[in-house]
Structure 1
């Protein structure tokens, strides 16, 4: 048990931290989520680790609605059919309701966690005032880690809303004095600059090589986020430079089995650059850290392991995506990405071009889980699926013990290739080599002289249903027609969600 808990130290320490701190309502006054101010002995510099683990705990405490809302508007995925979240389905077809609770939850909770990161950085600085040189250096590394986690949260919220606040302290009162909301470009440049500040203090190792906090952020996580921010800025040379440094490190490789990459065997693989980590700690009951994956799962299944819970059917791979993958001759990436129902297969076969389908297109997964027909959708997301035979005995929640991938090495390779296709100078392998590494893992034939269109198609095949990456690529590239599909009509003015009315009421500058 000791060995098992050591390999899951982030999630275990987060549980320990919660036990020490107790439960607080962070939403009421996030700037006061500070437990240290009145009760911490800042001479005990070894306790600095609790501060950074608190940032990880906040970062990993995504509500189920948050990644779901970020991802739903692309042409790779549909919201599940009618139900108790009609405004979620409306968001998928670009009809936005500023009063919808999901919008406010995403905005408010991410900002709460960003403020928590600032609180921790300020507390670590107080430890450093009384620390020796070794303690000060450790504090610098922890502050750098907090900057990286803060950056990816700020990145996501700016992708969704564009112009957003940039908190630079734990004091939320200063936000009321903001006279001009920073533009999306300003936010992305801020993120890039923050990563430049953090990089010198971070370990140059893979996340899974860290021994203190396995899976924690490293220099390469910061470089990846810098590349993402500069991709949004269309500063493709900076993208090429950052991704080339990751590639040239030789630290990362693609996990050989794409199907298992998103399941237990792929947890903290050599492909992982940033994950949200969850664990049942090898126990069928008791402590656990987990994400609610039920929204992604099929409403009705017959699991290979009796008693495993089904899902809610809120997240459906699109028919457009499935046909795109079949047209390309995709095998393992399609099998991995989509859980098929009999009804979905029948609807697909109504198109004569798809009357004959590969054998892996089945309502039974290779792990023996039977995906039955259900009302809300024709398909479910395979990337958010954990086979019932990989659940720890005694755990029945859908996807329990599954990590949540955010940045993978495959994306770094494709970002690098795209940057070169966009005119950047390469500092590592060729664009062909980068794309073909990804294609080879997927069992696809190599390409020569790859074009921008081919790279964008490769990103569609490789990264679909992951954090809205496809949607935000289409926005950045101005390929708005791709988002008008299956009766949807997209226009550029629909790029960003409206600010939640609750936030406009609190910060009138958002209404201006």
Structure 2
């Protein structure tokens, strides 16, 4: 069996391999979903890893707009102002224009990923059909299960944004579209069932324990995605059961340093159940497979490393979140989550209740980078910040080579705690135990008699700026008053994005 580390270190998006895999997908599309026999030699079983890499590549190669749009409507995040994307700012205010390019782009990004994933899974099935050795058959089953996990993740993100969507299970896209859209509840149950199909064939290990695909998905990634889907369905007993299984595995623990969890030191740590992986390969020039972190960065800063590029200022921690954290006595999580500017600090202190701030609040980061004033925002997301001293020498792009965390063990603990406060029974300790494990990492005192509101506050503090967790929690719990903040008014009609007009013109969507 060929170790993927012999092909790529780590599993980032090497263009050469991806071109091979995506050309296979293109051939599938050109031939109405069928791959001609002379395109690939399915008897070379070690090559079945190539379409698997293609599936990872599809998911990892997120557009910069994806995490922004997923997260911007929460009360933890504001869209940067005075920019060239006014409809993005309008989305933050719950004023939706279905002609906005970003809605359609994200729709196409995710469905494009899904089509590539299912095409890759079908290609792996073809390798399995020709396989003779038991080891090759088992490997094919594992790789196809990994594709199911990646497909489940993409369907999950789309359904949280739009609710009723198409489920794509095969490369016969015409037939899939003819089946029509499924309700959000049907999609979430489909994802949960898909994870059940995948779990028996996946490695019983942490992602960072995998030797074949470094940091790739495992049984526990699938369990986490199943738990997230069941949380959307408000099936709290299922959430408790699944998250309890992850906790009781004793395979995961919280990374001890919260600040560095979101830097290169925390990549592929024991806390991470799923992360999008990137690399500049430690070279000062040449191939770089990186997420575009520019939207998260300041457009004016003084980095320790001269010449390190700034960003665009599109994604700003909210003043509400910052005051919430100050009121709680947060230190580590506040300074990790928020990078301050002088103008931002002045804005906080203009409120008499916050006229005197703790001395640790500064526009100079722990690593010495200085965030200066800039027009679009008063604060920047520290979780998407890579210190300039962590850049590979010669690389100047903001956040170059930094991984993007998606699912962390802290979220598993807090989902488990919420399920118990919602009436579920658990096998992995109490809600107090789970919440206090998260709090202890950052020096917060223990709680007793934890309630659902306590868990929501803890999730707010722990998971702000991460994949819209806060927003989707609030709409699931109908806490519309929390989203009606800083002049906004949120109603039930604002829960979902409208279907992109370009898709309404093309597809059999309910209008």
- TM-score band, normalised by shorter chain: over 0.9
Tell me: CA distance 1:90–1:398, structure 2 relative to 1, closer, same or farther (3 Å): same
> How far does residue 442 in structure 1 lie from its aligned partner after superposition?
1.3
> How far does residue 11 in structure 1 lie from its aligned partner after superposition?
1.2
Tell me: CA distance 1:76–1:33, structure 2 relative to 1, closer, same or farther (3 Å): farther
Tell me: CA distance 1:54–1:36, structure 2 relative to 1, closer, same or farther (3 Å): farther
**Does the Cα contact within 8 Å between 1:30 and 1:112 map onto a contact in 2?**
no
> How far does residue 106 in structure 1 lie from its aligned partner after superposition?
0.6
> How far does residue 177 in structure 1 lie from its aligned partner after superposition?
1.7
> How far does residue 15 in structure 1 lie from its aligned partner after superposition?
3.2
Please give the alpha-carbon distance, in whole angstroms, between the structure 2 residues aligned to 1:7 and 1:244. Answer: 34
Question: 1:256: which partner in 2?
Answer: 256
Structure 1: which 5+ runs fail to align? none
Deviations 1:250-282 (A, max 9, x none): 100000000000001001110000000001111
> How far does residue 288 in structure 1 lie from its aligned partner after superposition?
1.7
> How far does residue 30 in structure 1 lie from its aligned partner after superposition?
8.9
Asked if residue 145 in structure 1 is aligned to residue 146 in structure 2, the reply is: yes
**Does the Cα contact within 8 Å between 2:146 and 2:198 map onto a contact in 1?**
yes
Question: 1:53: which partner in 2?
Answer: 53
Please give the alpha-carbon distance, in whole angstroms, between the structure 2 residues aligned to 1:283 and 1:181. Answer: 46
Please give the alpha-carbon distance, in whole angstroms, between the structure 2 residues aligned to 1:369 and 1:36. Answer: 54
Please give the alpha-carbon distance, in whole angstroms, between the structure 2 residues aligned to 1:367 and 1:30. Answer: 51
Once the two structures are overlaid, the 10-residue window that deviates more, 352-361 or 376-385, is 352-361
Please give the alpha-carbon distance, in whole angstroms, between the structure 2 residues aligned to 1:367 and 1:33. Answer: 51
Structure 2: which 5+ runs fail to align? none
Please give the alpha-carbon distance, in whole angstroms, between the structure 2 residues aligned to 1:272 and 1:317. Answer: 23
Tell me: CA distance 1:305–1:3, structure 2 relative to 1, closer, same or farther (3 Å): farther
Question: 2:345: which partner in 1?
Answer: 345
Please give the alpha-carbon distance, in whole angstroms, between the structure 1 residues aligned to 2:31 and 2:489. Answer: 41
SS at match of 1:139: helix
Tell me: CA distance 1:31–1:386, structure 2 relative to 1, closer, same or farther (3 Å): farther
Which aligned pairs between 1:153-164 and structure 2 lie closer than 5 A? 153-164=154-165
> How far does residue 212 in structure 1 lie from its aligned partner after superposition?
0.6
Question: 1:418: which partner in 2?
Answer: 418
Tell me: CA distance 1:21–1:435, structure 2 relative to 1, closer, same or farther (3 Å): closer
Please give the alpha-carbon distance, in whole angstroms, between the structure 1 residues aligned to 2:30 and 2:78. Answer: 34
Which aligned pairs between 1:361-380 and structure 2 lie closer than 5 A? 361-380=361-380
Once the two structures are overlaid, the 10-residue window that deviates more, 501-510 or 72-81, is 501-510
> How far does residue 18 in structure 1 lie from its aligned partner after superposition?
2.7
> How far does residue 441 in structure 1 lie from its aligned partner after superposition?
0.5
Question: 1:233: which partner in 2?
Answer: 233
> How far does residue 176 in structure 1 lie from its aligned partner after superposition?
3.8
Please give the alpha-carbon distance, in whole angstroms, between the structure 2 residues aligned to 1:345 and 1:222. Answer: 42
> How far does residue 34 in structure 1 lie from its aligned partner after superposition?
7.8
**Does the Cα contact within 8 Å between 1:96 and 1:497 map onto a contact in 2?**
yes
Question: 2:174: which partner in 1?
Answer: 173
> How far does residue 33 in structure 1 lie from its aligned partner after superposition?
8.6
**Does the Cα contact within 8 Å between 1:31 and 1:115 map onto a contact in 2?**
no
Question: 1:399: which partner in 2?
Answer: 399
Please give the alpha-carbon distance, in whole angstroms, between the structure 1 residues aligned to 2:370 and 2:77. Answer: 21
Question: 2:483: which partner in 1?
Answer: 483
Tell me: CA distance 1:17–1:3, structure 2 relative to 1, closer, same or farther (3 Å): closer
Asked if residue 319 in structure 1 is aligned to residue 327 in structure 2, the reply is: no
Please give the alpha-carbon distance, in whole angstroms, between the structure 2 residues aligned to 1:423 and 1:392. Answer: 49
Deviations 1:220-267 (A, max 9, x none): 000000000000000001100110111001100000000000001001
Please give the alpha-carbon distance, in whole angstroms, between the structure 2 residues aligned to 1:4 and 1:230. Answer: 34
Which aligned pairs between 1:175-254 and structure 2 lie closer than 5 A? 175-178=176-179, 180-254=180-254
Tell me: CA distance 1:500–1:130, structure 2 relative to 1, closer, same or farther (3 Å): same
Please give the alpha-carbon distance, in whole angstroms, between the structure 2 residues aligned to 1:54 and 1:22. Answer: 7
Divergent runs of 4+, >6 A = 2-7, 22-26, 30-36
**Does the Cα contact within 8 Å between 2:21 and 2:54 map onto a contact in 1?**
no
Tell me: CA distance 1:65–1:371, structure 2 relative to 1, closer, same or farther (3 Å): same
Please give the alpha-carbon distance, in whole angstroms, between the structure 1 residues aligned to 2:310 and 2:411. Answer: 30
Question: 2:73: which partner in 1?
Answer: 73
How many residues were matched structurally? 507
> How far does residue 127 in structure 1 lie from its aligned partner after superposition?
0.5
SS at match of 1:278: coil
Once the two structures are overlaid, the 10-residue window that deviates more, 194-203 or 281-290, is 281-290
SS at match of 2:237: helix
RMSD, aligned CA: 2.0
Deviations 1:4-27 (A, max 9, x none): 977833116x4341354577997x
Asked if residue 292 in structure 1 is aligned to residue 329 in structure 2, the reply is: no
Please give the alpha-carbon distance, in whole angstroms, between the structure 1 residues aligned to 2:361 and 2:175. Answer: 54
Which aligned pairs between 1:423-462 and structure 2 lie closer than 5 A? 423-462=423-462
**Does the Cα contact within 8 Å between 1:103 and 1:500 map onto a contact in 2?**
yes
Please give the alpha-carbon distance, in whole angstroms, between the structure 1 residues aligned to 2:137 and 2:263. Answer: 38
> How far does residue 36 in structure 1 lie from its aligned partner after superposition?
7.3
Question: 1:464: which partner in 2?
Answer: 464
Tell me: CA distance 1:5–1:364, structure 2 relative to 1, closer, same or farther (3 Å): farther
**Does the Cα contact within 8 Å between 1:322 and 1:334 map onto a contact in 2?**
yes
Please give the alpha-carbon distance, in whole angstroms, between the structure 2 residues aligned to 1:3 and 1:25. Answer: 20
Asked if residue 501 in structure 1 is aligned to residue 497 in structure 2, the reply is: no
**Does the Cα contact within 8 Å between 1:341 and 1:378 map onto a contact in 2?**
yes
Deviations 1:471-495 (A, max 9, x none): 0000100101100000001001110
Question: 2:387: which partner in 1?
Answer: 387
Please give the alpha-carbon distance, in whole angstroms, between the structure 1 residues aligned to 2:37 and 2:273. Answer: 33
Tell me: CA distance 1:175–1:197, structure 2 relative to 1, closer, same or farther (3 Å): closer
Deviations 1:451-507 (A, max 9, x none): 111011000000010000000000100101100000001001110000001111111
What's the TM-score once normalised by structure 2's chain length? Answer: 0.96
What's the TM-score once normalised by structure 1's chain length? Answer: 0.96
SS at match of 1:466: coil
SS at match of 2:384: coil
